Homo-oligomer: A and B are copies of this chain.
Amino acid sequence: MTEKATKRHTDPALAEARRNQVLTAAAECFRRKGYHGAGMAEISKTAGMSAGHIYNYFDSKEAIIEAIIQRDMEEMFSIFQQFEDDPGDLLTIMLDGADQGVERHIDKDKNALELEMLAEAARNQKMAFLMQQSDTHARARMRRLLTGERSLVKEATDKELDARINVIFAMIGGLAIRRTLYPELQKDTILLALRPALRTLLSPFE
């Protein structure tokens, strides 16, 4: 075992901090140069770590983007978990929680990276696969929420559930596009119309 590898294993908190340092630097490089245009040398420079040191944590640029996708998914799942853990009325909880979803999707840096990854997915099958896999998990998690005991739409057909989930995701994910095209758009303005639409999508259709 090399000295570096030993260090990594003996202090998990430090290893985690270093991993995050790489992910943050890589995210910045991908936004600035595009995923394709950003190399390990630039990521290493931006992170202030040697390339050798980075390779202790990630084998490749692909492993880095995989970890970024994983981290995003965990952040999203922690919101779902809050909804599941809250014993109150599910519709109220989700309408109240909508501002967290909006917040996540109007962050300028997060948006820029997500749009870059989506654009890259159109020309990079591995990227498309990783993102689609993560989205499949997210849809399954949302489906669990919507078919649970407390849901108002638990008896919807599979196709209708799929429709509801995808339109909710389109509406919230689409905010990343909105903020790029209309940077002045504010969270409280969005919520004024997003909550009524979300209420419709979480209630039986007439």
Q: Tell me whether A193 and B163 are in contact (CB under 8 A).
A: yes
Known: A119-B116, A122-B112, A200-B196. A189 touches B166 (CB 8 A): yes
How many residues does chain A have at the interface if contact means C-beta atoms less than 8 Å apart? 58
* Inter-chain contact A197/B194, CB cutoff 8 Å: no
The count of identical subunits is: 2
A166 with B185: CB separation less than 8 A: yes
Chain B residues with Cβ below 8 Å from A76 are: none
A52 within 8 A of B: no
A136–B185 Cα distance when bound, in Å, is 12
- When distances are taken between beta carbons in the complex, the residues of chain B under 8 Å from A108 are 122
CB distance from A103 to the nearest CB of B (A): 14
Query: CA A169 – CA B174 in complex, angstroms?
Result: 8
In the A-B complex, list the 3 residue pairs whose CB atoms are closest, starting with the nearest.
A174-B174, A170-B174, A112-B122
